[in-house]
Amino acid sequence: MIEPIGNQYVIARPVYSANNLSISEHSEMRAEESSQLKYCKSQANCSTQKAKKIALSLFPIASWLPAYHIKEWLLSDIVSGISTGLVAVLQGLAFALLVTVPPSYGLYAAFFPVLVYFFLGTSKHISVGPFPVLSMMVGAVVVKLTPSESTAALEISNSSMSNDSSTDEHKVMVAATVTVLSGIIQLLLGVLQVGFMVIYLSESLISGFTTAAAVHVLVSQLKFMLQLTVPAHTDPFSIFKVLNSVFTQIEKTNIADLVTSLIILVIVFVVKEINQRYKAKLPVPIPIELIMTVIATGVSYGFDFENRFKVAVVGEMKRGFQPPITPDTQIFQETIGDSFSIAIVGFVVAFSVASVYSLKYDYPIDGNQELIALGLSNIFSGSFKGFAGSTALSRSGVQESTGGKTQIAGILSAIIVLIVILALGFLLEPLQKSVLAALALGNLKGMLMQFTEIRRLWRKDKYDCLIWIMTFIFAIVLGLGLGLAASVAFQLLTIVFRTQL
């Protein structure tokens, strides 16, 4: 007790005997236990207010949809949804090549996740669906578990690959099963409220890993741009084996595919640079992917490129949806490690992009709820023969830059994909696979430009710079799965060194 005496204060403490001190301690402990018991009871009690809070946390749509401003937002969301949907169609087809499944299955991966995220996601601006890094990681697993693709001695031409229905069915099953398993992992992490742990992967690690993944994507698309028969490799040093296979048979290049893909690639890079530099003056970004796809499809069909120049085309696009599948539990056992890597990378990328937009437009996002939303999106997508998704930076950029205000734009983009699946897919059948490969590479510019991070990190923090460089090397040399594990271990090692020094 503090008692004032004149201009001074005297602290008066009661004098306890050993017995009285013991009684006082027990009283304080009982009071603390009582308060903890009351807190537990308050948490366990069910009330209307608590039930409403839980419902709003699990279904964020219930909080923002009733407050939707139709007059101010609807037109912007419609424009954004149409633009994003057209990009999603083309990216779905292009990224399906990375998974080594027929392009039509990319449309399922661009459609189903959007539906689930509309109800469960907390970000208003990201566009969920195929992402090149994840597609590459899923493709590596598909190649590893497909005997006809993993045996280097057995070569299958790219043009006949889509015609081998049994091989395609097996690839689709592997991709779908891995997607479902990665979705289950994300869902469990979200339910257990451990999403915060994943966020501690450093920015430099994510940057180095995605840059290395972009290089893997670049190398993987060379066989489509040149139309070469390249055996698949998934073991360490696989990227060098693929490059060796490409250069040893470079004389077999299909000139028509090479010229077409280079023209597409140059035009896409130039127009994307224009979009970036003059984004403040342009009402909407120039939809260069759509324009080039329409032109390339028309030219290929009009001049009969498939028969005259023997180019590889998209081929038959099945209308409608495929029946849902039951995941193969045997594949579960063989791919648990790969699926965990896919789950982590998918969430980290999506949460990073969502965080940027949440800070820009000042609204909260929930990491655990994002895990639940992405997990259920992947489970749903994999069940209907889609493949793992996250958010593509370019597609989310289109949704935000064209005026998207909410996930109403996302659901409208899914409707555009739905129209293509049900009615317009056949129009894309003459499209060259080399064009899709060029479009896929056109979306890597942002990730490849992350090489400039090395200089900034060196000036800012030598340890972060070292993490970036080693992560890039690990992912290039060991592959994406083992590379990510080695990179996380190296980051933890740097923490030990920082602590000791």
**Is the pLDDT confidence value at 469 over 50?**
yes
Name the residue with higher pLDDT: 420 or 7.
420
- Which of 129-133, 328-332, 419-423 holds the top average pLDDT? 419-423
Q: What is the pLDDT of residues 302-313, one digit of tens each?
A: 888 888 888 888
What is the average per-residue pLDDT within 492-498?
85
Q: What is the pLDDT of residues 396-444, one digit of tens each?
A: 877 887 778 888 988 999 999 999 999 888 888 888 888 888 887 877 7
What is the average per-residue pLDDT within 356-366?
83
Q: What is the pLDDT of residues 254-282, one digit of tens each?
A: 898 899 989 988 998 888 888 878 877 87
Residue 10 β-bridge partners = 3
Q: Which two tokens stand for residue 178?
A: 């891995």
Are 217 and 94 in contact by the 8 Å Cβ rule? The answer is no
pLDDT given at position 439: 82
pLDDT given at position 393: 72
Range scoring the smallest mean pLDDT among 239-248, 280-289, 322-331: 280-289
Q: What distance lies between CA 207 and its chain's CA centroid?
A: 14
Are 109 and 92 in contact by the 8 Å Cβ rule? The answer is yes
User: How many residues would you count in the chain?
Assistant: 501
User: CA–CA separation, 441 vs 422, rounded Å?
Assistant: 27
Q: Which band of pLDDT confidence, cut at 50, 70 and 90, is reported for residue 67?
A: confident
Q: Which band of pLDDT confidence, cut at 50, 70 and 90, is reported for residue 470?
A: very high
The rounded radius of gyration (Å) of the Cα atoms in the chain is 27
User: CA–CA separation, 10 vs 175, rounded Å?
Assistant: 75
**Is the pLDDT confidence value at 155 over 50?**
no
What is the average per-residue pLDDT within 161-185?
83
Task: List Cα–Cα distances, 455 to 173, 205, 213, 300, in angstroms.
Answer: 43, 15, 20, 44
User: CA–CA separation, 414 vs 409, rounded Å?
Assistant: 9
User: Got the DSSP string for 100-159?
Assistant: TS-TTHHHHHHHHHHHHHHHH---SS--EE--HHHHHHHHHHHHHT-HHHH-TTS---HH
pLDDT given at position 159: 43
Q: What are phi and psi of 450, to 5 degrees?
A: -70, -10
pLDDT given at position 423: 85
pLDDT given at position 38: 61
| Residue from 110, 68, 102, 120 nearest 85 by CA | 110
User: Which residue has 């080695």 as its token pair?
Assistant: 486
Is the pTM for the entire model greater than 0.85?
no
